[in-house]
């Protein structure tokens, strides 16, 4: 935002002139957006409602309020806790209920295969010019035909330095018996079995039945030591010191450390998980026009920067990254060094084997009495 201060007077004059010209011509196009980014084209002739379906604790209310105030659109937000919950909702008819959804990488693959998404109109998304080159055309949607990145991050180990010594370096440290009853795991049927698979020397995407059985045995061994499975806000247990160690999303570790300076984060030697969440529009979205306006709004650099400060995951917006405070950009939990990211693994669609991953997590919970 500091970069805009010196241009306010000139920008205000330009804004007035643009509005006058559009009014005189009877045009329906919106005036230039804040920061001079331009508008996504003619505003939609649709009911002024946007139905957003997004992960819990992943969208600041002030950003939604500002969008509502600028466009006069009412945002209705619903939340979910896992990709599997999102997918099940869309398969049951939610593709005609929501306008914008936020699936992770491998889930985009599934949704494209099942024809649950509609192609994006890039002409209505001018702010995509701020998308960093390294975030374009990722393997699950090579042409960004159906999705654009929202945020990216990792899954690794958060730990309390006052109680966890030595510092963890491997998934094996999660299995150390001295941490029994002091561990939180994300409630995710791909990440938790994937952790066990990596520990055994396999890929997180391995579907070999023998390897999955080995992973099951490791998870059953760990099960009685787990305090909680929490994908919504595992940081709460870390901050309160109810747990000392957690397998969590990277921003949960950053936010925990802001509240509790003894909390640190590391990607395990086996690699951990590198993920990207994405903005997409369901096939039968009721308000696809406003969905495009909203996605373009989130790609304004100052909006994307606010988002990345509220939830300090990695921003895919190159200009927004430059607007972030140095303490966030230099935090290795939010932006890990390249050598650590090089070993992190991206989850892919495992097809029908997803049922086996679900079974592994369910059996683990049952074995632990949860």
pLDDT per residue of the chain (370 residues) written in tens, 0 to 9:
322 223 223 333 233 333 333 333 333 333 334 433 555 668 999 999 999 999 999 999 999 999 999 999 999 999 999 999 999 999 998 889 999 999 999 999 999 999 999 999 999 999 999 999 999 999 999 999 999 999 999 999 999 999 999 999 999 999 999 999 999 999 999 999 999 999 999 999 999 999 999 999 999 999 999 999 999 999 999 999 999 999 999 999 999 999 999 999 999 999 999 999 999 999 999 999 999 999 999 999 999 999 999 999 999 999 999 999 999 999 999 999 999 999 999 999 999 999 999 999 999 999 999 8
Cα–Cα distance, 5 to 104 (Å, whole number) = 36
**Cβ 103 vs Cβ 88: under 8 Å:** no
Tell me what pLDDT residue 110 has.
96
Q: Which helix or strand (DSSP H or E) is residue 275 part of?
A: strand 273-280
* Number of separate helices (H) and strands (E) present in the chain: 14, 9
Question: What residues have CB less than 8 Å from 168, skipping those under 6 apart?
Answer: 157, 159, 174, 245, 266, 268
Common-topology check for domains 40-152+276-328 and 153-274+336-367:
yes
Q: Which residue stretches of the chain are H helix?
A: 8-25, 61-71, 83-91, 105-113, 191-199, 209-222, 235-239, 250-259, 288-298, 301-310, 318-323, 326-329, 338-341, 354-367
Residues paired with 185 in a beta bridge = 229, 247
Distance of CA 215 to the CA centre of its chain: 26
Residue with tokens 């946007």: 50
Fold of 153-274+336-367: D-Maltodextrin-Binding Protein; domain 2 (3.40.190)
Q: Which helix or strand (DSSP H or E) is residue 158 part of?
A: strand 147-160
Fold of 40-152+276-328: D-Maltodextrin-Binding Protein; domain 2 (3.40.190)
Its pTM stands at: 0.86
Considering the chain, what percentage of its residues have pLDDT values greater than 70? 89
Tokens of 47: 């009911």
First to last CA, the chain: 47
Burial of 352 (0-12, 13-18, 19+ CB in 10 A): exposed
Cα–Cα distance, 49 to 26 (Å, whole number) = 25
Tell me what pLDDT residue 88 has.
95
Tell me whether strands 147-160 and 263-266 are parallel, antiparallel or unpaired: antiparallel
Judged by DSSP in three states, 225 sits in helix
Tell me whether strands 273-280 and 147-160 are parallel, antiparallel or unpaired: antiparallel
Cα–Cα distance, 218 to 367 (Å, whole number) = 12
Tell whether omega for the bond before 166 is within 30 degrees of 0, i.e. cis: yes
Cα–Cα distance, 216 to 223 (Å, whole number) = 10
Sign of CA dihedral 47, 282, 139, 169: positive
Question: What residues have CB less than 8 Å from 339, skipping those under 6 apart?
Answer: none
Residue with tokens 């450390």: 257
Name the residue among 93, 91, 99 with its Cα closest to residue 54: 99
Domain boundaries defined on the chain? 1-32, 40-152+276-328, 153-274+336-367
């Amino acid at each position: 935002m500091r970069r805009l201060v010196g241009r306010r007077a000139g920008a205000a004059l330009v804004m007035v002139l643009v509005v006058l010209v559009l009014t005189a011509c009877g045009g329906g196009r919106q005036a230039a957006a804040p920061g001079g980014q331009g508008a996504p084209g003619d505003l939609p002739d649709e009911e002024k409602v946007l139905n957003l379906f997004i992960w819990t604790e992943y969208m600041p209310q002030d950003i939604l309020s500002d969008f509502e105030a600028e466009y006069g659109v009412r945002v209705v937000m619903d939340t979910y806790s896992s990709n599997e919950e999102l997918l099940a909702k869309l398969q049951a008819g939610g593709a005609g209920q929501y306008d914008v959804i936020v699936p992770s990488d491998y889930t985009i693959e599934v949704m494209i295969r099942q024809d649950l998404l509609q192609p994006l109109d890039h002409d209505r998304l001018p702010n995509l010019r701020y998308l960093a080159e390294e975030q374009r055309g990722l393997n699950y949607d090579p042409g960004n035909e159906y999705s654009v990145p929202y945020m990216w991050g990792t899954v690794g180990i958060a730990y309390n330095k006052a109680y966890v010594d030595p510092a963890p370096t491997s998934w094996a440290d999660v299995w150390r018996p001295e941490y029994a009853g002091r561990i939180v795991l994300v409630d995710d049927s791909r990440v938790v079995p994937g952790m066990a698979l990596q520990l055994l020397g396999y890929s997180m995407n391995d579907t070999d039945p023998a390897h999955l059985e080995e992973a099951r045995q490791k998870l059953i061994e760990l099960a009685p030591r787990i305090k909680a499975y929490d994908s919504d806000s595992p940081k709460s247990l870390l901050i309160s010191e109810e747990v000392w160690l957690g397998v969590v999303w990277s921003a949960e570790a950053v936010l925990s450390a802001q509240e509790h300076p003894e909390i640190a984060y590391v990607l395990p030697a086996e690699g951990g998980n590198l993920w990207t969440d994405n903005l997409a529009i369901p096939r039968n979205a009721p308000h696809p026009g406003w969905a495009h306006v909203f996605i373009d709004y989130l790609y304004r650099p100052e909006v994307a920067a606010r988002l990345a400060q509220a939830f300090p995951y990695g921003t895919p917006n190159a200009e927004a990254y430059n607007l972030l405070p140095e303490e966030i950009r230099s935090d290795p939990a939010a932006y890990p060094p390249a050598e650590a990211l090089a070993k992190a693994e991206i989850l892919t669609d495992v097809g029908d084997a997803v049922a086996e991953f679900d079974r592994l997590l369910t059996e683990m919970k049952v074995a632990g009495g949860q």
